[in-house]
């Protein structure tokens, strides 16, 4: 029994040494010290007020719907019978009806050059972008996203809204309007019948088959498809006052 005393004592000393080393060892780093994933940008939600067919505001935040492009407020399009209609106004009114007194939930995607939050938005789980594109009241903005191309294809096949006829795309309409804002507006004398051939005047005065003198401004749906034949006496004007004084009338008045 005496021989067991020393091995037992040695074992106790060894255990004490291990316990001392463990107590002085550096602590393992806490899991909380590791970098945590960045939270996604917070969603926006609330009652929205509509600016136009693809733009609205929630509180102080201006929101541009992601992946779609609706007609501008003053843009006009053609219907199946070739008559123009206020597609920009109709698109805005439709968006208003979709969000009226309902909570709109938006997931921010980006910020555009105008400082607006670009976001995909929904009401009661219904994607607003998909809705207006599928109804033909906006185009899929393929330049930025292909998300709504299928919705657009369906509207086009059914001839809905913008797809009733060959209407100008919103981005082309804005480009044409931008040109008009930057051109010189040199007055044209009503007694001067010399046709204007330069690019400084963009109101198109053409003569219809029945002899009526009709002018087309860039915000009319008929403007982009109207060609001027100076040999027939058609001409360009720099402003509507000059066109009216020369005997032309607005083309948008046809059929009304």
Asked if residue 189 and residue 127 are part of one domain, the reply reads no
Could you read off the pLDDT of 22-53 as tens digits, one per residue?
445 444 444 343 334 334 468 999 999 999 99
pLDDT of residue 13: 59
Is the whole model's pTM more than 0.75, yes or no? Answer: no
User: Does residue 79 lie in a domain region?
Assistant: yes
Percent of the chain beyond pLDDT 70? 73
Residue 178 maps to a domain: no
Q: Tell me, what's the pLDDT at 239?
A: 80
The per-residue pLDDT for 241 is 83
Q: Which of 167, 192, 222 is the last residue of a domain?
A: 167
Domain range for 76 is 44-167
Dihedral class, residue 67 (left if φ above 0, else alpha if ψ from -120 to 50, else beta): left
Is the pLDDT higher at 239 or at 169? 169
> Are residue 128 and residue 162 in the same domain, yes or no?
yes
Task: Tell me what the mean pLDDT of segment 3-22 comes to.
Answer: 55
In a domain, 208, yes or no: yes
Please state, in angstroms and as integers, the Cα–Cα distance from residue 105 to each residue in 6, 80, 94, 205, following that order.
Answer: 77, 35, 18, 47
Kindly report which listed range (2-11, 24-33, 87-96, 214-223) carries the lowest average pLDDT score. Answer: 24-33
Residue 160 neighbours by CB under 8 Å, 6+ apart: 135, 136
Query: Are residues 162 and 189 located together in one domain of the fold?
Result: no
pLDDT reported for residue 9: 58
Specify whether the CB–CB gap between 219 and 179 falls below 8 A: no
Does the residue 153 lie in any domain?
yes
Tell me, yes or no, whether 160 and 188 share the same domain: no
Same domain, 216 and 242: yes
Last residue of a domain, one of 142, 167, 192: 167
In a domain, 27, yes or no: no
Structurally, the chain folds into a number of domains equal to: 2
186 alpha-carbon distance from chain centroid: 34
Confidence of residue 254 (pLDDT cuts 50, 70, 90): very low
Residue 65 forms part of a structural domain: yes
**pLDDT at position 167, please?**
82
Domain match, 119 and 158 both: yes
CATH of the domain at 112: 2.40.50.90
Query: In this structure, is residue 129 part of a structural domain?
Result: yes
Q: Do 150 and 189 reside in the same domain of the chain?
A: no
Q: Do residues 147 and 132 touch, judged by C-beta distance below 8 A? A: no
Q: Of 167, 194, 228, which closes a domain?
A: 167
Q: Which of 18-27, 42-51, 179-188, 219-228 has the lowest mean pLDDT?
A: 179-188
In a domain, 11, yes or no: no
Least confident piece of the model among 5-19, 108-122, 142-156: 5-19
Could you count the other beta carbons within 10 Å of the beta carbon of residue 151?
Answer: 22
Query: Looking at per-residue confidence, does 248 or 62 come out higher?
Result: 62
Residues 117 and 187 in one domain: no
**For residue 18, which phi and psi values (nearest 5 degrees)?**
-65, -40
Under the banding of pLDDT at 50, 70 and 90, the label for residue 210 is confident
Are residues 156 and 55 located together in one domain of the fold? yes
Same domain, 203 and 111: no
């Amino acid at each position: 029994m005496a021989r067991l005393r020393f091995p037992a004592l040695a074992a106790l000393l060894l255990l004490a040494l291990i316990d001392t080393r463990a107590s002085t060892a550096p602590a393992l780093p806490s899991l909380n010290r590791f970098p945590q994933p960045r939270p996604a940008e917070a969603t926006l939600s609330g009652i929205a007020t509509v600016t136009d067919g693809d733009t609205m505001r929630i509180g102080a935040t201006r929101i541009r719907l992601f992946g779609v492009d609706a007609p501008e407020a003053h843009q006009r399009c053609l219907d199946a019978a070739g008559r123009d209609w206020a597609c920009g106004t109709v698109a805005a009114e439709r968006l208003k009806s979709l969000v009226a007194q309902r909570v709109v939930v938006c997931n921010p995607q980006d910020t555009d050059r105008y400082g607006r939050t670009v976001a995909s938005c929904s009401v009661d789980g219904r994607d607003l972008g998909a809705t207006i594109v599928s109804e033909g009241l906006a185009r899929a903005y393929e330049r930025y996203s292909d998300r709504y191309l299928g919705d657009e294809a369906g509207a086009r096949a059914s001839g809905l809204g913008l797809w009733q006829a060959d209407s100008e795309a919103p981005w082309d309409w804005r480009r044409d309007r931008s040109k008009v804002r930057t051109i010189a507006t040199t007055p044209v004398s009503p007694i001067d019948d010399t046709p204007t051939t330069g690019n400084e005047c963009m109101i198109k005065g053409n003569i219809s088959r029945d002899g009526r003198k009709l002018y087309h401004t860039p915000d009319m749906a008929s403007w982009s498809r109207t060609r001027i034949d100076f040999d027939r006496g058609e001409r360009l004007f720099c402003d509507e006052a000059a066109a009216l004084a020369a005997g032309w009338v607005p083309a948008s008045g046809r059929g009304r």
